Amino acid sequence: MKAKFIVPAFILLLALSCKKNDDNVPSQPTGNGSEEELLMDSVYLYSKEVYFWNDVIPSYEQFKPRQYKGSDELSSAQNVMAAIRDLQPKDRFSFVTTQEESQAIQTGEDKDYGFFVKAATLDTEEPLDSIYWFVTYVYDHSTAGAAGVERGWIVNKINGTQLNYDQASASVLNSTFFGSATSASFEFIKPDTTTATVTLNKTTFQANSVLHKEVINTDGKKVGYLVFNQFFGQHSRDELRDAFSFFQSQGINDLVVDLRYNPGGSTETQDTLADLIAPQAANGQRMYAYQFNQQLQQGNFPLLKRKPGFQNVVFTEDVNSIDFEKAGSLNLSRVFFIVTGSTASASELLINNLKPYMDVKLVGDTTYGKPVGFFPIPVFNYALYPISFRTINSAGQADYYDGFAPDKLANDGVNKNWGDVTEPSLSAVLNYIATGTFGRPARAAMLQMDAQHSMKPMQKQLESKKFIGMYKE
């Protein structure tokens, strides 16, 4: 049996639809103040109830949330949350956003260009070539997807400005992807060295979670290859079921799940994917459990209880446990995951949940390290996301804050399109399936890996405004 749903699904919708009314304003020490001040108080007060490490938060009088005033309501709320994060070194994750952004996180209905980039070198020959900004992925229904943009293309210019690997170019990229402008001209260099200049618009579209699926024949075996980019809601679960129906119809012998850029998302969607991958022997066995702070477990959360749907919620671990409900007919004994430092949260939850039941092989780079999650709390036009739970698998493994190290270090061949069997990470998996070993990397491959590690700080700066996390529906 699945666990009782500790947070009803419509709570997420409340984060999108609640308007300014008295129910959104918690009781607070002074009982008065501007909306901005009440919002700042709310970040503190709700976190004091639901924060997983709430015992580190001092009293209201000591903390003084209103001292963190910013340039507007949102920045003020974010400043308070940042001050709470600073109390717990493990917390890189708690945040505040608008209800509109919260909706995009949960549904995948975002407004953007529909692709993203990563700095990398061309993996040709030594010495290493210059560093370029490559397209990492493209969503089908975005303007980039409609224009035919593909993974592996180089973003050479934006609005006529030449891109290099420097801070100025990183600033241009940040401004383009996350700024207020809704249109930009991009000059791409394709793998055949031809160029394409297209004007793209930020539009609202439904992002597809499954970026690619195919069956690769290698050494007489059929290998299912799935690129899964984010754990959105119901439409992600539908895409996954369709993909696995395809793999079942093809009679695959092995499965490769590419999570290299997957930042997490819905834990319920994780449940669906875990049920599709797990062997039949896992059916009915414990998958994982949610753990909340002692205050929540004891039912002591008067402010949260004022929110519709939370009045009768139970936060004890025995109630909040999830068992496998095996789906589909695949009965694999092992699974391969392609991962990077951008593989986070619900992606890591999936890996952790499957490890006690099958042979799990990781190829790529060490994952992000996020074993904790949250649920949104609506206040005015904002959504508060204080870390509120951690997850623990059936073997008692929970605190992977340093991420999961790969069984095989492999470069992210971002200049190769999905399914290219020469792409380093996929090639390493296929080599293992064919020979039973990953083999020793060539010196050029190690140099490429070192180069990618040296680029991480600037890449993290570029990705800092992207969602990373898992949330409970």
- pLDDT for 58-105, tens place per residue? 999 999 999 999 999 999 999 999 999 999 999 999 999 999 888 877
Asked whether 94 and 57 are in contact (CB, 8 A), the reply is: no
Check whether 107 has a pLDDT greater than 80: no
| pLDDT reported for residue 394 | 97
64/334 Cα distance (integer angstroms): 52
102/96 Cα distance (integer angstroms): 9
Interval 306-323 mean pLDDT: 93
Check whether 2 has a pLDDT greater than 50: no
Interval 209-228 mean pLDDT: 96
> CATH classification of 111-206 is 2.30.42.10, yes or no?
yes
**Owner of token pair 């940042």:** 82
| pLDDT reported for residue 22 | 39
Asked whether 11 and 98 are in contact (CB, 8 A), the reply is: no
Q: How many CA atoms lie within 13 A of 181 on its CB side?
A: 13
What are the CA-CA distances from residue 83 to residues 42, 67, 381 (Å)?
14, 10, 21
Residue ranges of domains in the chain? 10-107, 111-206, 210-375+388-471
**Least confident interval from 125-134, 247-256, 326-335, 439-448:** 439-448
Q: How confident is the model at residue 6 (pLDDT cuts 50, 70, 90)?
A: very low
The answer for 147, left when phi > 0, alpha when psi is -120 to 50, beta otherwise, is: alpha
Q: Which of 8, 37, 28 is nearest to 380 (CA)?
A: 37
Interval 340-358 mean pLDDT: 96
Q: How confident is the model at residue 396 (pLDDT cuts 50, 70, 90)?
A: very high
* Tens of pLDDT, residues 174-211: 999 999 999 999 999 999 999 999 999 999 999 999 99
Polymer length in residues for the chain: 473
| Ramachandran angles phi, psi of 459, nearest 5° | -65, -40
- Mean pLDDT, the chain, whole residue set: 88
Sequence-distant (6+) residues with CB within 8 A of 410 are 338, 363, 364, 365, 424, 425, 427, 428, 441, 445, 449
What are the CA-CA distances from residue 181 to residues 114, 155, 176, 185, 373 (Å)?
14, 18, 7, 11, 32
Q: How confident is the model at residue 15 (pLDDT cuts 50, 70, 90)?
A: very low
**Structure-block tokens of residue 173:** 């990229």
pTM: 0.87
DSSP 276-309: HHS-GGGTTSEEEEEE--HHHHTT--TTGGGSTT
| pLDDT reported for residue 446 | 58
Q: Which of 188, 192, 183, 195 is nearest to 153 (CA)?
A: 188
Centroid of chain to Cα 460:
14
* DSSP code at position 231: B
> CATH classification of 210-375+388-471 is 3.40.710.10, yes or no?
no
| pLDDT reported for residue 441 | 63
Q: How confident is the model at residue 21 (pLDDT cuts 50, 70, 90)?
A: very low
Handedness of CA 71, 76, 77, 79 (dihedral sign): positive
201/145 Cα distance (integer angstroms): 11
111-206 and 210-375+388-471 agree in CATH topology: no
* Tens of pLDDT, residues 126-145: 445 588 999 999 999 999 99
**Least confident interval from 8-22, 197-211, 219-233:** 8-22
